[in-house]
Amino acid sequence: MSTLTSVPNEKITVPLIRARKVRAGAAPIACLTAYSKPMAQLLDPQVDMILVGDSLGMVLYGFDSTLPVTLEMMVDHGAAVMRGAKRALVIVDMPFASYQLSPQQAYQNAARVMAETGCAGVKIEGGAEMADTVSFLTRRGIPVLGHIGLMPQSVAASGGYRAHGRDANEADYLVQSARRLQDAGAFAVVLESMIEPLAARITQELEIPTIGIGASPACDGQILVTDDMIGLFQDFKPKFVKQFAQIGAQISTAVSDYTNAVQRHEFPAPEHCFGVKPLVPVATSAPVTPMKAAADAKAGKTRRRS
Ligand code: KIV
């Protein structure tokens, strides 16, 4: 039987997440994405890890892919999320072309993200081919969350949005990649859009936790894009998303109610307006001239009708 390994008020750290293997009795790690302070405030008491994902490019900015996302965007949204998160571990995605050139480029940009946001670590897409870069970062004190399987930054090269690991060569490459990332010091690895038995096998083989998205219930944790999970992002819904709420529909209803209320002169009502209730001058024997009323008001001698 699994036991919870964190208590609600405990600050979640990288070593705490690294130790969360379900087979060792830990509760699965709950992760979601956030791009803003208010969303971070809502998620923070409830989840173990918040990812400032570069999915913000598609979800928030309306780009067709994550490729146009810049380091500046990740820094700005990462800093906003950090202002709303007190307890959960916050990890910021490294955007396309900010880390692939060399380990040195990756270090320079990851260090900037950490210094300017205050986040706990960064996520990097890539398998065995990124292991040297991950090792370069982790040996210099930058915690890294790996990401293999479907990697949105390289969908063009890998044949679009599809499940990974069906073919034996690809499955072998993914197992090797997971091991190499672990050996390079990654504290956990995201498995995205991967056939279920392969995600379960990688989870079984690794000492570090796996975090699945479209992968397997056997993973040590799960992550979804919050806007997908609450039904706010409506352009498309990947097969692996479960909508736990229909916030988009609720917003539509609220906006329609608002417009109707405005058009029917029902909003704003008196309680939403200032100065509707007349000021009553304090009783005085002298006639109240405008100048006297102004002087009384300045001296605090008027009060609102209760
Ligand atoms: O960018 C993102 O939000 C992600 C998660 C979906 C894992 O990479």
Three-class DSSP category at 125 = strand
| Residues counted in the chain | 306
- Residue 245: count other Cβ atoms within 10 Å of its Cβ: 11
Cis peptide before 278 (omega within 30 of 0): no
| Residue 6 binned pLDDT confidence (cut-offs 50, 70, 90) | low
**What's the average model confidence in pLDDT over 167-181?**
97
**What's the average model confidence in pLDDT over 277-290?**
60
Ligand 1: atom nearest CA of 93 is: 1
The CA dihedral of 72, 76, 81, 82, to the nearest 10 degrees, is 90
Cα–ligand 1 centroid distance for 1 (angstroms): 30
Say yes or no: CB of residue 33 within 6 Å of ligand 1. yes
CATH class for the domain made up of 14-229 = alpha beta
| Residue 161 binned pLDDT confidence (cut-offs 50, 70, 90) | confident
Q: Tell me the pLDDT tens digit for each residue of 24-54.
A: 999 999 999 999 999 999 999 999 999 999 9
Share of the chain above pLDDT 70, in %: 88
**What's the average model confidence in pLDDT over 268-286?**
78
Q: Tell me the pLDDT tens digit for each residue of 103-130.
A: 999 999 999 999 999 999 999 999 999 9
Cβ atoms of residues 127 and 204 within 8 Å: no
CA-nearest residue, atom 5 of ligand 1:
53
Measure the CA–CA gap between 278 and 158, rounded to whole angstroms: 70
Measure the CA–CA gap between 124 and 38, rounded to whole angstroms: 25
**What's the average model confidence in pLDDT over 140-160?**
93
Map out the domains of the chain as residue ranges: 14-229
| Residue 295 binned pLDDT confidence (cut-offs 50, 70, 90) | low
Residues 6+ apart with CB under 8 A from 169: none
